[in-house]
Structure 1
Amino acid sequence: MNRTAYYNYIDEKIHTLAYRIETNGKLNMLHLHMHSESFYLHLLNLLYGYELENLNKVLQNVEAIDLIDHKNKIIIQVSSTCTKNKVESALEKEIIKNYLSYKFKFISISKDASNLRKSKFKNPHGISFSPSRDIIDITSILNEILQKDIAGQMSVYSFIKGELGNGVDVAKLDSNLAIIINILAKENWHGNVGESTVKQFEIERKISHNELDSAKDLIEEYSLFHGRVDSKYSVFDSQGSNKSSSVLATIKREYIKSKKGASDSDEIFFNVIEVLKNKVIESANYSEIPIDELELCIDILVVDAFVRCKIMDNPEGYSYAAS
């Protein structure tokens, strides 16, 4: 696996954890928050050479401080709430007086903090705190990982793989996607579904516009694989086979059929997935794939079609830029 593959895996797992934190996922929120503190403790130690430990193991229910490094004199609050009020609330706590020789850092584990870094904060106890430097989010962490050589990325990859699970086998996913794209591309289709240029747009807005409830989690999670699908399509299309248009046309046609008998958007969305799965299984070209891997690939391809505006309605006046 090369540097790009390691980084893509790390990116995917950290964003998936962030998504679960933001939406509460399927886990108990208290348990998830505790797990996040432990995860970021070890990740930050690995990235920055800190010697952080969990302060809550020494002092129960400490406000404002989650992690502490006595050697480097750093205290950290880990939070899924990324607001000016949240930071100022921590800075004004009485316990901060005990650590005035330390540096305060704030870690946003679910939200982008670029705007927060530009803010000015009340710091009544005068602890060392520079918003531009000491507010850390997923983007800044990923940038730090990106700067590492392959050995450094492999070290982070091994940690995340052990902490968050194996996740998706990238090599197997690529292989399965190729098989399924080949099968779906052999479908007979007529007409043009329009330009297949990938566009980037506000996925949340489209989900809301279509009143997708049950499909929301799946779309938000698997939209992370859009780049991988695009890469696979590009390889096929560069060989002159134009498989992306064929597959997207097949998905769009099944979407149009599903609209006729479905009662709501969620039903339509999942009907498309089910029909495509059956098409692949029944195909003469089908090489048996474990059902969970097959379903994952079909889910990813349908979500990709959603991202590309091939299925479901777009909000009125919607404007989006090429990625």
Structure 2
Amino acid sequence: MPMNRSYYFNYIENKLQVLSNSVATRGKLNVLDYNIYSETFFANLLNMIFNFNLENMNTFKQNIEGIDLIDNENKIIAQVSSTSTKQKIEKSLEKEIFNNYPGYRFYFISIAREAENLRKMKYKNPNNVLFNPKEDIIDVKSILDNVLNMHIDKQKAFFEFIKKELGEEPDIFKVDTNLATIINILASEKLSEIEEYSDNSFEINRKIEFNSLESVRETIDDYKIFYIKLDEKYTEFDKIGANKSFSVLQAIRKQYVLLQNKEEISEIIFFNIIDNVIDIILKSNNYVEIPYEELEMCVQILVVDAFIRCKIFKNPEGYNHVVTR
């Protein structure tokens, strides 16, 4: 299995399993707040996997028993439940509310337990709701089966969705340690010769505009504040004779040069540099695992810093030269 696919899947699996276990545990304690939040989360999740257009019914009507989600375009209604039993499903199917939605298919979403046994059962269906247990009962395992076989681009998009919804906030207090680790890894990369590049300074906003990087502006603004901290870290290494700053910046520069020859859209190049550098780190024998959110943040700091130091992307002409590494 390719490295990226394996990493994306493992991350998604871990986050969904943790959520499922948390819902189950809190349900036993009668703490049901996760159930409420899960309705919208699973609506968006299923929309991404199956191209549905599910919406939370509570947006339109409050507390409709038996129905949590609805997709009027594809004629789908769904219930999101942490109680996964035959009795629960049959109790839902007997609700008269289903008569208001003729021709709609019913999905049962089990968010706390595997539902393999439920798919093998037969159910009383007094309202003749469209419902095929083998296909219309969804659990975390069946979701992961779909994720595993996704095209890599779709899997990455799904990974980003899970990271935004269920990921941890990066630990800002670990920035120093993590940056040092990552600098060491990147500095050890073997680099082929690449062309010389300019050390001209620039105004960040004008360089963004010059390179058509408007969609990247927010990322640059978020991480440019770490310029001084990273400069201090580079200085620490360079004082002891380890020219880490040059090696790290060259490693990032190399990715830029390679991508520039394959891709014309600047925004794609920028984010692919980040992805490629993360991949280098993950494949390193020296990598000591840290939360992905912290790894990604550190790499974004390094790439934004390289952008500021004129190591990647073109520099507008007519700017005064300043001392950079």
TM-score of the superposed pair, with normalisation by structure 2: 0.51
Question: Would the aligned equivalents of 2:99 and 2:127 in 1 still touch at CA under 8 Å?
Answer: yes
What does residue range 244-259 of structure 1 map to in structure 2 within 5 Å?
none
Equivalent of 2:163 in 157, 161, 164: 161
C-alpha deviation, 1:99, in angstroms = 1.0
Q: Go from structure 1 to structure 2 and tell me whether the alpha carbon gap of 1:94 and 1:145 turns closer, same or farther (over 3 Å shift).
A: same
**C-alpha offsets along residues 265-303 of structure 1, whole Å, 9 cap, x if unaligned?**
xxxxxxxxxxxxxxxxxxxxxx9x99xx9xxxxxxxxxx
Q: What is the alpha-carbon distance in structure 1 between the residues aligned to residue 76 and residue 90 of structure 2?
A: 17
Q: What is the alpha-carbon distance in structure 2 between the residues aligned to residue 43 and residue 139 of structure 1?
A: 14
Q: What is the alpha-carbon distance in structure 2 between the residues aligned to residue 132 and residue 167 of structure 1?
A: 38
Equivalent of 1:126 in 102, 125, 128: 128
C-alpha deviation, 1:31, in angstroms = 2.1
Equivalent of 1:15 in 17, 42, 45: 17
Runs of 4+ in structure 1 off by over 6 angstroms are 25-28
**C-alpha offsets along residues 158-207 of structure 1, whole Å, 9 cap, x if unaligned?**
001001123799xx9xx99xx9xxxxxxxxxxxxxxxxxxxxxxxxxxxx
Aligned twin of 1:111: 113
**C-alpha offsets along residues 62-90 of structure 1, whole Å, 9 cap, x if unaligned?**
00000000000000000000000000000
Q: What is the alpha-carbon distance in structure 2 between the residues aligned to residue 63 and residue 155 of structure 1?
A: 33
Q: Percent identity?
A: 52
Question: Would the aligned equivalents of 1:73 and 1:101 in 2 still touch at CA under 8 Å?
Answer: yes
Aligned residues: 177
1:30 matched to 2:23:
no
Q: What is the alpha-carbon distance in structure 2 between the residues aligned to residue 157 and residue 29 of structure 1?
A: 28
The residue type paired with residue 164 of structure 1 is L
C-alpha deviation, 1:57, in angstroms = 1.6
Q: What is the alpha-carbon distance in structure 1 between the residues aligned to residue 108 and residue 170 of structure 2?
A: 31
What does residue range 10-89 of structure 1 map to in structure 2 within 5 Å?
10-24=12-26, 29-89=31-91
Runs of 5+ unmatched residues, structure 2: 182-287, 295-325
What does residue range 1-323 of structure 1 map to in structure 2 within 5 Å?
2-24=4-26, 29-166=31-168
**C-alpha offsets along residues 83-116 of structure 1, whole Å, 9 cap, x if unaligned?**
0000000000010111121000100001010000
Look up the SS of the partner of 1:110 in the other structure.
coil
C-alpha deviation, 1:149, in angstroms = 1.8
The residue type paired with residue 160 of structure 2 is S
Q: Go from structure 1 to structure 2 and tell me whether the alpha carbon gap of 1:150 and 1:166 turns closer, same or farther (over 3 Å shift).
A: farther
Q: What is the alpha-carbon distance in structure 2 between the residues aligned to residue 82 and residue 46 of structure 1?
A: 23
Aligned twin of 1:220: none
Q: What is the alpha-carbon distance in structure 1 between the residues aligned to residue 28 and residue 95 of structure 2?
A: 32
C-alpha deviation, 1:56, in angstroms = 1.4
Greater Rg by CA: 2
The residue type paired with residue 68 of structure 1 is I
**C-alpha offsets along residues 118-151 of structure 1, whole Å, 9 cap, x if unaligned?**
0000000001100001001111000001111211
TM-score of the superposed pair, with normalisation by structure 1: 0.51
Question: Would the aligned equivalents of 2:27 and 2:82 in 1 still touch at CA under 8 Å?
Answer: no
The residue type paired with residue 78 of structure 2 is I
Q: What is the alpha-carbon distance in structure 1 between the residues aligned to residue 29 and residue 159 of structure 2?
A: 23
Aligned twin of 2:198: none
Aligned twin of 1:281: none
Q: What is the alpha-carbon distance in structure 1 between the residues aligned to residue 7 and residue 29 of structure 2?
A: 28
The residue type paired with residue 23 of structure 1 is T
Q: Go from structure 1 to structure 2 and tell me whether the alpha carbon gap of 1:167 and 1:23 turns closer, same or farther (over 3 Å shift).
A: farther
The residue type paired with residue 119 of structure 1 is M
Question: Would the aligned equivalents of 1:119 and 1:131 in 2 still touch at CA under 8 Å?
Answer: yes
Aligned twin of 1:303: none
Look up the SS of the partner of 2:107 in the other structure.
strand
Q: Go from structure 1 to structure 2 and tell me whether the alpha carbon gap of 1:42 and 1:97 turns closer, same or farther (over 3 Å shift).
A: same
Look up the SS of the partner of 2:122 in the other structure.
coil
C-alpha deviation, 1:30, in angstroms = 3.2
Question: Would the aligned equivalents of 1:100 and 1:125 in 2 still touch at CA under 8 Å?
Answer: no
Question: Would the aligned equivalents of 1:13 and 1:164 in 2 still touch at CA under 8 Å?
Answer: yes
Question: Would the aligned equivalents of 2:57 and 2:64 in 1 still touch at CA under 8 Å?
Answer: yes
Q: Go from structure 1 to structure 2 and tell me whether the alpha carbon gap of 1:5 and 1:25 turns closer, same or farther (over 3 Å shift).
A: farther
